[in-house]
Structures are given as structure tokens and as C-alpha cells.
Structure 1
Amino acid sequence: MVSVGTVPGPIQSIERAAAMLRLLARGSGEYGLAEVAASLGLPKGTAHGILRTLQRVAFVEQDEETGRYRLGAALLHLGTSYLDANELRSRSLNWADALAARSGQEVRIGVHHDGAVLVVHHVFRPDDTMQTLGIGAMLPLHATAFGKVLLAYDADLSAATRRRELTSLTRRTIVTPQSLERVLTQVRAAGWANDAEEYLPGEASIAAPIRAPGGLVVGAIGISGSVDRICDSASRAKPALVSQVASAAEAISRALSD
């Protein structure tokens, strides 16, 4: 009997499916059933069952004339999504560096991933203080300027977020769906978002949307720093910094369209 605390071992069928996808990604990219089975040392029946399962979820396609298998559209879309994040980062490098230099603050670029903001690029503050690289960090959608931007321009993501519990991170965190929706309406009207001590005490941020050709918002760029440097005495974002962030976002959006 397996105890409740036992960690399960590898699942053989998943390992075989992964090996099959790697095989199809090689060479010509098309293989017959016999070739797949022989390459992986599997019985034809087992190989056929895995291929049919992968075909049902569109990870694999079968040519109607030749019967040969190749990678499917769904899997290629996943790869394209990864490349899109990297293209966003590569097109943003110069503008992110310039924004850090002008604002004197750290700069992040974030995209939505699995219900949070994934930081895909991070530029340190241009000073000598100790800092930690934030690439790969996951930030809450409802409590950061970056997240508010992504929510404001994605109705499905916003609805899903408002249905979940909004975790209180500080005394200023938005915790009700109604309050969040009001803020997102303001973000859409202004074209930028901010937070003041909603995620971390003493910290604030300003962010603006990055748009792909056609206007789709694919990410957000923004600055983060101490409240007294980002905001005025009433915790409002400083207009000069808002202008700098918005200009950087517009420049990156133009670069993505070129």
C-alpha cells in the first residue's frame, strides 16, 4: 500500500509521449508509425495508442495521404508563445535600459503566466545599492501596477481573477472584486496603472501596456521603487515618471510593429 505522503515516481506513458514529441521535432519532422515504434523501442500498438492520444489534443497531426505523423498546431502554438515572450524581451532591451537611466528606478517587463505576472526582463536601479535580479519572479495580478495593466485589457483574465480570493498582502491591497473592477476602469481610461504599498510596504510601481500589432496588449513595462521616489505626499504617481513609463511602452509597441 502506498502511504499518503509518498511522492509518486515517473509516469511511463508521459515519458514515452515526451520522447515521441522530441523524435518528431528532429530531421524532416515526419515519421511513419513503424519508424516511431522502432526508434523508441516500442510495440506498434503502444506507439499507435500514444500517437492517437497526442493527435486528439492536437500535439500531433497525421497526413491524410501518407499516414505519417508530425508535430501539431497546438504544440507549435505553445512554442510560439515562448518565443513571443523572448521577442518581447529582445525588442525591449534598449528602451528598458533608457527608462532605468531616466527614472533612476528599477525597470521590469512582465507578461501574464498562470494567473500571475511573470517578469521576463529586469533592469537594476542605476545606483550602487544591493539588488537582486528579478527575472522569472511571479507577481500578483491584483496588487501590482504590472498586473493591473494586464487585467485591464484582458476581460477573461479579469473576470477569472475577480472570481478568486484576492489575497491581502498589505493594508492597502485591493481585496474586493468591486474595488478591483473600479480600478481597472480607471486604468483603461488613463492608459497606465500604479500601486502604492499594495504589494510590499514602502514600495510603489507604475506600469503601462505594451501592444502587439493590432493593439493587443501582450505585456507591461514599469518602474518600481520606494514610495517617496515614485509617488507624491498623497501617494499619487509622479506625473514625470508616468510620462517616462508611458513613452517607453509606446516605443516598445512601435518596435514590435516594425
Structure 2
Amino acid sequence: MSNNGASVATEGASVQSVDRALAILESLARLGEAGVTELAAELGVHKSTAFRLAATLESHRLVEQTSDRGKYRLGVGILRLAGATTARLDIVQEARPVCRALAAATGETVNIAVLSEHSALYLDQVAGSSALQPHNWVGQHIPLHATSNGKVLLGGLDDAAVDASVGELTRYTSHTITSRAALRAELERVRADGYAVAVDELEIGLAAAAAPIRSAHGDVIASMSVSGPTFRLPEEALRAVVKQLTEAALEVSHRLGWGQR
């Protein structure tokens, strides 16, 4: 009983600290800059508490001290977080009409994914007419080595970055790539062909193809995929989908500035 009480108290203190740290960020956004005394007054806490919170935020570069070392302001870490969010919103916004057209043309589900540390993160999904009750993948993470989206995203990296991004090559089916050498060979094909396929690799009965979405600088920043059951996407049908898919992904890349002069 006492252990449970201590645990709840610790959790409550942690939540309070997070709340106070966010309050500091909001205060600095409103004030521009502020010293520890001013922040403590804003939060209604002791100066030592305000200092510890500010120091923690500073260690994550979310705040920084001004040149006179007396006051704090928002740091470059905020820009990094905001930039990542803005970039993802731009991708979704530019890709959405293209995804809708592709889903309508193929009748299958179209997804947009980005690299998120050691997995692929789904940002958006448009269901085609053939997908009666599609699984909603938005916000979910999927393995890189066993999916078409993951292979495309890995294909945009150099070998060192691929090794850093891919951990254990978990076997999901008998068709899953589980050796580093086989994965490297697969990624070479993806880079050469400009698209990736995955049939029965993550789940038996699931077929998918993906193509890269590039930034204005030519970097692979996202992938677009078309997926459906293998009985609707046998080899010949998948080849037809790949042509439509690569054209759609290229259109989104152009919308983001790739190939524009």
C-alpha cells in the first residue's frame, strides 16, 4: 500500500514538473526573454525550482541564455521541433490530392510514410474503393526491412545510416528479409528501380509497392505506397500499380520543389 502511494506521488511530481516546464516555454514565447526571478513569479514557485526547470530545458536546447547570461529565451531546439512538424504537414498537404487520385485510380489504399528513427511512421492514408474496412495506419510505426515504404526510406540513406537505422531483422513471415547482405542487395535494387515492393513479407496475403517522395534538394523525405491483398494485387496488377505510383510520387516531389528551376 505504501509503495503504491509513493509511486503515485512520484508520478504526480513528474507530471507537475512537465506542466511547469511547458509553462516556462509558453512564458518565454509570450515575453521574449525572462530571468529566473521573473519565471519563478510566473509559475508561482521558488527560484531554485525555476532554475532547475530552465537548466533542464537548456540541456535539450529548448531554451538558451542570452549573451549577458542573465535571462532565458526560446532555443534552437524549438525550431528543430517546429521545423519537423511543418515539413511533415507540408508533405501531407501537398500529397493529399495526389493520394486521393491514386486511390481512386487503383481502388487500393494509399499511404504516406516517413523515417522515424528505427521504423517508418505513417502520416496519412487514403482508402480506395476496394478497401471496404481498411486498417487505419496513421500514427503507427512499421518495420523498415519488411515493408515497401521502409525499403524506399532506407534506400535514401547511405550504408552507414542504414546500419544505424535498422536493428534486428525480425522475421514476420517466411518471405521476410532477415540477413544484412540480402537487405543491402534489395536496397540496391530499390535505388536502381526507383520503387520497392513487398509481397507477403510483413503479413501473408498483403502486397504493397512504394516510391520515394523527394525534397527540393533531391533527398528522400517520405514514401508513398499502394497496398492491398495479394489476390487483388498479383504480379501483373502490381506492375501496373507501380507505374501509376511512381508517377504520383514524382508529382508530389515536384509540388515540393524537386526538379523545379
Using the size of structure 1 for normalisation, the TM-score is 0.89
| Distance across 1 between alignment mates of 2:87 and 2:121 | 13
| Distance across 1 between alignment mates of 2:138 and 2:56 | 35
Aligned equivalent of 1:230: 233
Aligned equivalent of 1:209: 212
Instruction: Find 2:46's aligned residue among 43, 47, 63.
Output: 43
Aligned equivalent of 2:240: 240
Greater mean alpha carbon deviation, residues 119-128 or residues 34-43: 119-128
Q: Which amino acid in 1 is paired with 2:252?
A: I
Q: Which amino acid in 1 is paired with 2:256?
A: L
| Distance across 1 between alignment mates of 2:3 and 2:243 | 59
Q: Which amino acid in 1 is paired with 2:153?
A: L
Shift of 1:65: 4.5
| Distance across 2 between alignment mates of 1:130 and 1:146 | 21
Aligned equivalent of 2:111: 108
Q: Which segments of 5 or more consecutive residues in structure 1 lack a partner in the other structure?
A: none
Q: Is contact 1:149-1:220 (8 Å) kept? A: yes
1:21 paired with 2:17, answer: no
Local SS of the residue matching 1:118: strand
Aligned equivalent of 2:154: 151
1:180-191, aligned counterparts within 5 Å? 180-191=183-194
| Distance across 1 between alignment mates of 2:149 and 2:33 | 42
Local SS of the residue matching 2:32: coil
Instruction: Find 2:79's aligned residue among 76, 79, 96.
Output: 76
Instruction: Find 1:160's aligned residue among 157, 164, 184.
Output: 164
Aligned equivalent of 1:133: 136
- How has the CA–CA distance of structure 1 residues 117 and 185 changed in structure 2, closer, same or farther, with 3 Å as cutoff? same
Aligned equivalent of 2:67: 64
- Count of residue pairs the alignment pairs up: 251
Local SS of the residue matching 1:228: coil
Percent same amino acid at aligned positions? 35
1:98 paired with 2:101, answer: yes
- How has the CA–CA distance of structure 1 residues 161 and 77 changed in structure 2, closer, same or farther, with 3 Å as cutoff? closer
Aligned-pair Cα RMSD in Å: 2.2
| Distance across 2 between alignment mates of 1:19 and 1:166 | 42
Q: Which amino acid in 2 is paired with 1:171?
A: S
Aligned equivalent of 1:251: 251
Aligned equivalent of 2:11: 9
Local SS of the residue matching 1:175: coil
| Distance across 1 between alignment mates of 2:143 and 2:164 | 14
Shift of 1:150: 0.6
Q: Is contact 1:120-1:135 (8 Å) kept? A: yes
**CA deviation profile, 1:211-239 (whole Å, cap 9, x unmatched):** 11111111000100122333327xxx733
Aligned equivalent of 2:179: 176
Q: Is contact 1:124-1:133 (8 Å) kept? A: no
**CA deviation profile, 1:128-157 (whole Å, cap 9, x unmatched):** 722233211221111000000011112354
Q: Which amino acid in 1 is paired with 2:76?
A: A
Q: Which amino acid in 2 is paired with 1:188?
A: R
Local SS of the residue matching 1:238: helix
| Distance across 2 between alignment mates of 1:130 and 1:54 | 44
**CA deviation profile, 1:65-116 (whole Å, cap 9, x unmatched):** 4833211101220121122111110110110001111112110000112421
Q: Which segments of 5 or more consecutive residues in structure 2 lack a partner in the other structure?
A: none
| Distance across 2 between alignment mates of 1:144 and 1:157 | 18
Aligned equivalent of 2:197: 194
